Amino acid sequence: MKNHILSRREFVKLSAAAAAGLTVLPGFRFGLDQLPAPMTRTFGKIGFEVTTLGLGGQASLQWTPPDVDPVPIILKAFKMGVNYYDTSNLYAGSQLHFGKAFRKLKLIPGEPGYDKKLRESIFLTTKTHQRWGKPGFPELENVNNWSNGDPAGGAVVDLKRSLSQMFGDGEGNYPEGSYVNMVLTHNLNFQEEVDVMYKGLETPLNKDENFGVLVTLRDFRDGTNLTGLNPKKEKLIRHIGLSGHINSPAMINMIQRDRWEILDAMLVAINSNDRLYLNHQHNVIPVAQAKNMGIIAMKVFADGAMYSKYANWTRDHEGVIRTVGTRELPSKPLIEYALTTAGIHTAIIGIGQISDDNLKCQLVQNYYAAQVKPGGLSIKRRQEIEESTRFVKDGKTNYFQLPFQGLTPPQNLSLKQKDQVEIHWDTAYAANTPLSHYEVFRNGKLVGKVLHEPQISRDPFTFVDQEKGKSYKVVSVDQDGNRAEGEELLA
């Protein structure tokens, strides 16, 4: 970059920006071609080098204000080198906006000038809230089947709708060679949903009955037709994952039950108020990280609730934030917090608006803030950021997470006795400090310790006692020394 001498006017502008917490850009008045190359991280076992900033498919791409055209937002992200793009069948016109941008970028297979190299350089993710594979589904409590298309259409309808809206005519047709890099089973809330999604894998696959979304999507990933729903044996997706905002234990269960290595990635809510709730950073994120899954952060600004937006799901374009941070709470440290949470590879952030003035452009400001290494913040600095947000809206920003419940005892304790005593249990759930170990007591006396490791399968933690006692207890211990006793087990 060439040297540039600031005028007094520019100096005043930069000083005001710094005071307001905006990123002071080196060469803020120059074009996008002079931005630094985007930082990337290896996207878990997928292996793709993903930019630390991804473009979210909500904000103005979903809830479009009357004076905003979403297509230039997408085009600008491409020009800046962002290579991770997120959308969903639930996001109103978001996929259609991507379709318009893709036509301008020559990303439609079969059309003149199709830029295959550019298509291969990006990672495009969409989502389905369908839990069943086939059209029609039984009414079950706590099992949601949502779609902007047919709410009873099944996962295949959603998948083909995505391809049609982004690469085809929007009426159900798409050209040969169309694909999405990943489909996420979106917004997992309840354990009952996990049961449905694994039908046809954990249970016999019967084509004449219904089965879950995972065995269905696997057909369209592998080009197989085990379900009878892919007679052309199309390969329309490259990877399958899950997303969740609310329930870390349910998401852990979803990952643990994947004996077929179907799930490659997870999208999860993470921000600096995470530990005020039943948090993800000490519960499901370590499990996904231990399985080398790609991990995407969302809700970095608590869906705008860190700022002027109400702490609830966005209802219309009035809920879209269109400014860059505030003097009291800059956006940069919130992005850095998410991206320095262990295990996170990229953060998707929705854009309210862009601007030719880089100091007012959310996309440019987020881009600079995202240029941070995984260990780029000290523990002390992360704690300072947590303190800066814990009183925003009285700490009730993360309406999308379960309430704080404290350290729990080990789950599903059981005892087996033959020639020796075997005690089994499943992971405890951490509070605002990571788990450390489990202590085992026989007749009130400590007889063993088992280190905590992320439980990546349904295989339980086990302690074997060669002696026989009358009673046993297992206690969860976190890294701060907090303890939670399990129920007494009688031999």
Closest CA to 455 of 195, 258, 213: 258
Q: What is the reported pLDDT for 319?
A: 95
237 in a structural domain: yes
Tell whether 202 and 335 lie within a shared domain: yes
290 in a structural domain: yes
The per-residue pLDDT for range 400-430, each reduced to its tens digit, is 999 999 999 999 999 999 889 999 999 999 9
Q: Which residue, 395, 424, 454, sits at the end of a domain?
A: 395
Tell whether 205 and 323 lie within a shared domain: yes
Tell whether 337 and 470 lie within a shared domain: no
For the chain, report the end-to-end CA distance as a whole number of angstroms: 73
Tell whether 34 and 142 lie within a shared domain: yes
Tell whether 391 and 415 lie within a shared domain: no
Q: What stretches of 5-122 adopt beta strand conformation (E)? A: 40-42, 49-51, 53-55, 84-86
pLDDT (tens digit, 0 to 9) for every residue of the chain, 491 residues total? Answer: 233 333 445 434 544 554 455 555 544 455 666 788 999 999 999 999 999 999 999 999 999 999 999 999 999 999 999 999 999 999 999 999 999 999 999 999 999 999 999 999 999 999 999 999 987 765 555 566 666 555 567 899 999 999 999 999 999 999 999 999 999 999 999 999 999 999 999 999 999 988 999 999 999 999 999 999 999 999 999 999 999 999 999 999 999 999 999 999 999 999 999 999 999 999 999 999 999 999 999 999 999 999 999 999 999 999 999 999 999 999 999 999 999 999 999 999 999 999 999 999 999 999 999 999 999 999 999 999 999 999 999 999 999 999 999 999 999 999 999 889 999 999 999 999 999 999 999 999 999 999 999 999 999 999 999 998 999 999 999 999 999 999 999 98
Question: Element (H or E) spanning 379, and its range?
Answer: helix 379-389
Residue 158 · residue 212 · CB < 8 Å: no
CATH of the domain at 148: 3.20.20.100
Alpha-carbon distance of 81 to 102, in angstroms, equals 15
Alpha-carbon distance of 39 to 53, in angstroms, equals 8
Q: Which residue, 395, 430, 464, sits at the end of a domain?
A: 395
Tell whether 419 and 383 lie within a shared domain: no
406 in a structural domain: no
Greatest C-alpha distance within the chain: 84
Residue 384 · residue 373 · CB < 8 Å: no
Q: What are phi and psi of 55, to 5 degrees?
A: -90, 120
CATH of the domain at 424: 2.60.40.10
pTM, to two decimals:
0.93
Q: What is the reported pLDDT for 34?
A: 75
Q: Compute how many other C-beta atoms are within 10 angstroms of the C-beta atom of residue 315.
A: 9
| 178: CB partners within 8 A, 6+ apart | 109, 163, 166, 167, 168, 236
Tell whether 76 and 206 lie within a shared domain: yes
Place of tokens 């310790």: 449
Tell whether 111 and 137 lie within a shared domain: yes
Tell whether 451 and 385 lie within a shared domain: no
Q: How many domains does the chain have?
A: 2
Tell whether 374 and 430 lie within a shared domain: no
Tell whether 390 and 418 lie within a shared domain: no
Residue ranges in 105-203 assigned as alpha helix (H): 116-120, 154-167, 191-197
Question: Element (H or E) spanning 64, and its range?
Answer: none
1 in a structural domain: no
79 in a structural domain: yes
In the chain, pLDDT over 70 holds for what percent of residues? 90
2 in a structural domain: no
Q: What is the reported pLDDT for 134?
A: 86
Alpha-carbon distance of 246 to 226, in angstroms, equals 32
The per-residue pLDDT for range 27-47, each reduced to its tens digit, is 445 566 678 899 999 999 999
Tell whether 329 and 469 lie within a shared domain: no
| Structural tokens at position 289 | 């990280």
**Which residue segment(s) compose the domain that 255 sits in?**
8-395
The per-residue pLDDT for range 65-91, each reduced to its tens digit, is 999 999 999 999 999 999 999 999 999
| Structural tokens at position 328 | 């009291």
400 in a structural domain: no
Closest CA to 302 of 265, 328, 277: 277
Alpha-carbon distance of 443 to 480, in angstroms, equals 26
150 in a structural domain: yes
